Amino acid sequence: MTWEELLERLSLGQDERTLFLPPDLSPEELARYAAGLANHRGGILFLGMDGEGRVVGASEIHPLQITHALFQLTQGLLLPYVEVIEGPMGRVLALHVPQSPAAIAVGAGRVPFWDGKRLTELRMGQALPEPDFTAQVLPAASLSDLDPVEVLRLRRILEERGSNLAALPDLELLFALGLLERVEGQDKPTVAGLLLAGTPLALKRLLPQAEVSYYYHEAGVDPEGYAFREDILRSIPALLERLRDLIQARNRVRYLTVGLFRLEVWDFDQEVYREALLNALVHRDWQSPDAIQVHHYPDRLEVSNPGGFPPGITPENVLRHPPKRRNPRLAEALYRLGYVERAGSGVDKMYRLLLKYGKEPPEYRLFPEALTLVLYNPELDEAFVRELAEAQERLGGFSLDHLIAVGHLRRVGEAAFEELARALQLPLEATRKVLTRMERMGLLRKEGGRYYLVRRDPLGERALGLLADPLSRREVEAQLGLTPRATLALLNRLIREGKVERTGRGTATRYRRRV
């Protein structure tokens, strides 16, 4: 570092990776500051400064004195490179402190931590804050690793959202999104910057783990095999567009008419799988060399990412636990771009959209070093989806709690109080309030300590009205305006319930209401 580069760096002031210290510190105090920097993100400690960033000199200190003292006081865990910078105002020592993979203590149980403004101490047993890998700058990264076309894409996204950031010049825009950092006088992209605007070549060289592998598996084929595969290594906005195209090319849609409205029911709702993909990108362990995998089956979509849930979150509380982000810098940039919600409502959105169309809630499979989210695509129950839509129109909409309870009872038929509490992921008292309200709304009934769904069956009632005289399946289909499959499913349900009987065989098959 030259004297001119030093002065330019000093003009920027202290931050979470830069410290100014006077030359008269004791070895113990110096060790605490150096360890505090290492316990956070690492950085540079300038020795021979005053608190305002002015050079006062450190001519009496030899670099070997520093390295020896820090080595001794940290039990050999800290050995920074000490650079001597000479200039007209004196001599400054720059201690280049690497980030430590483990907490470094100075003294018995004292773990210092530099938070960017002050030196604090972590309590005994307190976990060291997990560093945000997406906020870091990779040593080999440079501005040339950013793709101007991807930067323009980010600007267009902000313009569509009406964000004031869209008016900023390119560099200011990237700094505002947290995609650039100034490191020793140079503007360099953060990991988040590379992920959102990096060139494919830069990603391949610096972040090959950013690749996402998409697999399509055909029905009735060995689940270990696949009919199609594509490996995608692009910026996150381009990646999401390509995954959308791949999934939509194999995504069926069916249309249901409810009153004056027409509902689109997709095998996999675009908003749902987009949330699943964003969750994998935001919460994955970016230091793992493994890629995200998307497995597309006709009856389910599986999204697997390296790294499990953040500490404290489990499949049993993921719906209610306050949001915890493994990669805050990336999450904040995606929030500003409108991809994710800051409050962590993505899981709520997935639950609501899946249950609204009679599908199962998302399933989480937790492994030691990975997490898989499964979105199921069961056979469409047209009668239930219509009934649910009509009930919401009649009652003024359902809360997410109502949808969860209704969906669970539809799948299992009946449930005890404790089982519904687990499905709702709520404390017992909160569960009791939800179920009591649903009883008053006429959605549930309680018998013998168990809960049952109270279903209105307008389609069934219409069918029974038609079947006073024997009719063929085609005649029922024409009268009700259903698809052949939906008509057959309705008639078979009414037969199982003992309300309809079937006579004849083949083309002579007729259905009539039981007397």
Name the domain boundary from 129, 149, 181. Answer: 129
Judge whether 280 and 290 are in contact, CB under 8 Å.
no
**Residue 335 and residue 438 in one domain:** no
Q: Which two tokens stand for residue 75?
A: 């039990």
Question: pLDDT band at residue 97, thresholds of 50, 70 and 90?
Answer: confident
**Residue 223 and residue 340 in one domain:** yes
Q: What is the pLDDT of residues 16-60, one digit of tens each?
A: 788 888 888 888 888 889 888 888 878 888 888 887 778 888 888
What range defines the domain where residue 491 resides?
458-513
Q: What is the pLDDT of residues 399-424, one digit of tens each?
A: 899 999 999 998 898 999 999 999 99
Q: Using CA atoms, how far apart are residues 346 and 319, in angstroms rounded to an integer?
A: 10
Q: Using CA atoms, how far apart are residues 427 and 420, in angstroms rounded to an integer?
A: 10
DSSP 8-state class, residue 430? H
Q: Which two tokens stand for residue 345?
A: 């409502």
Would you say residue 124 has pLDDT above 60?
no
Would you say residue 430 has pLDDT above 90?
yes
Q: What is the pLDDT of residues 299-336, one digit of tens each?
A: 999 999 998 887 778 888 888 888 777 888 999 899 99
Q: Averaged over 121-135, what is the pLDDT? A: 68
CATH code of the domain covering residue 72 = 3.30.950.30
Name the domain boundary from 113, 129, 145. Answer: 129
Domain assignment present for residue 387? The answer is no
Q: Which two tokens stand for residue 193?
A: 């910057």
Q: Using CA atoms, how far apart are residues 155 and 240, in angstroms rounded to an integer?
A: 17
Question: pLDDT band at residue 481, thresholds of 50, 70 and 90?
Answer: confident
Judge whether 365 and 374 are in contact, CB under 8 Å.
yes
Would you say residue 497 has pLDDT above 70?
yes
Judge whether 215 and 228 are in contact, CB under 8 Å.
yes
Judge whether 281 and 209 are in contact, CB under 8 Å.
no
DSSP 8-state class, residue 471? B
Closest CA to 390 of 296, 295, 261, 237: 261
Q: Using CA atoms, how far apart are residues 210 and 233, in angstroms rounded to an integer?
A: 6
Phi-psi region of 95 (alpha: psi -120 to 50; beta: other; left: phi over 0): beta
**Residue 227 and residue 326 in one domain:** yes
CATH code of the domain covering residue 212 = 3.30.565.60
Domain assignment present for residue 262? The answer is no
Vertex 226 angle, CA 223 and 227, to 5°: 135
Would you say residue 239 has pLDDT above 90?
yes
CATH code of the domain covering residue 471 = 1.10.10.10
